[in-house]
Amino acid sequence: MLVLGRAQVTALLDMDALIDALASAMADLSAGRASSPDRVAAAVPDRDGFVAAMPGFVPSAGALASKLVSVFPGNAGTSLPTHQALIVVFDPDTGEPTALLDGTELTAARTAAASALSARLLAREDAAVLAVLGTGVQARSHARAMCRVRPVREIRVAGRDRARAAALAADLSAELGLPVEAVATYAEALAGADIAAATTHAVDPVVRRAWLTPGVHVTSVGFNPAGREIDDATIADAVVCVESRQAALAPFPAGSNDLLEPVRDGVITPDHVHAELGELLAGSRPGRTSRDQITLYKSVGVAVQDAAAAALVVAAARKQSVGEEIRLA
């Protein structure tokens, strides 16, 4: 069995290749070829955390894998990520475990890559101003990924902690060679933004309809069982896309409060979800149809993304002779 640590996974990840791999995985999922059951979780109430299991199979990638991921929002602002994970890769022909890899960086990268895929499908082609809401691992990954698919020329960062926002802005500016500004409020970050990447553990919405400019594409990956990232008015007005209707509208721990609560309250019906990413890729559902439409990609994270990303990393590791081989038997 090949074992890969976090630093090795990070070095092996190729964001452009990952976005393309996720496109194939999303197409498989929407066509019914992939297998991705709703995640299950064991709650840790005293810490508002949980550990979830996410198995998935992607035939186009020959990928069979299962992820164990812990989500502990209380880690925000500490040295520990809020999401930490391990992934086991299996041979899809025999079921033999073939690789074990750290899934923490891979989760961050695949989540951002899926958001970038949504931007490639839904954001205006000339989208140049990016608002990043949040200051953690996902905020950093999303800034990097969005610059791969749209001609971003300006980034604004906002978060609860202005110092953390300023530090992230400085890092991103040096890394990406772009003007990146830390601003005081989410509203200020969103004003005039062409793409907005919400990556928070917010209790109250950080994306509000009154703050959005016509034509913006919003991506929302934040997860908090007790909160929301997006307000009802934005949900109601936006063209809403998801990875999987089944997953997005499923009860906790699979679904999204940003959709479940508006459905519960009669703000929208389940039919308001316009499309899955795979349907946009197949052309069975239209994407953006006007320049001023507000589009929204609400992500809950599905296992086929992890399986496809892990297969990509393992293939690169074997090609480059990276990692340690161990025997379990």
Stated pTM of the model: 0.96
As a whole number of angstroms, the distance between CA 329 and CA 327 comes to 6
Which ranges of the chain have pLDDT less than 70?
A: none
User: Structural domain boundaries of the chain?
Assistant: 2-107+304-325, 124-302
CATH hierarchy code of domain 2-107+304-325 = 3.30.1780.10
As a whole number of angstroms, the distance between CA 133 and CA 135 comes to 7
**Per-residue confidence (pLDDT) for residue 206, from 0 to 100:** 98
**Per-residue confidence (pLDDT) for residue 48, from 0 to 100:** 87
**Per-residue confidence (pLDDT) for residue 179, from 0 to 100:** 98
Count of residues for the chain?
329
**Per-residue confidence (pLDDT) for residue 224, from 0 to 100:** 80
Tens-place pLDDT, residues 32-42: 999 999 999 99
**Per-residue confidence (pLDDT) for residue 259, from 0 to 100:** 97
Residue 279, SS3?
A: helix
Which helix H or strand E contains 43, and what residues bound it?
strand 40-44
Topology of the domain covering 124-302: Rossmann fold (3.40.50)
Dihedral Cα 78, 303, 264, 278, nearest 10 deg = 120
**Per-residue confidence (pLDDT) for residue 223, from 0 to 100:** 82
**Per-residue confidence (pLDDT) for residue 180, from 0 to 100:** 98
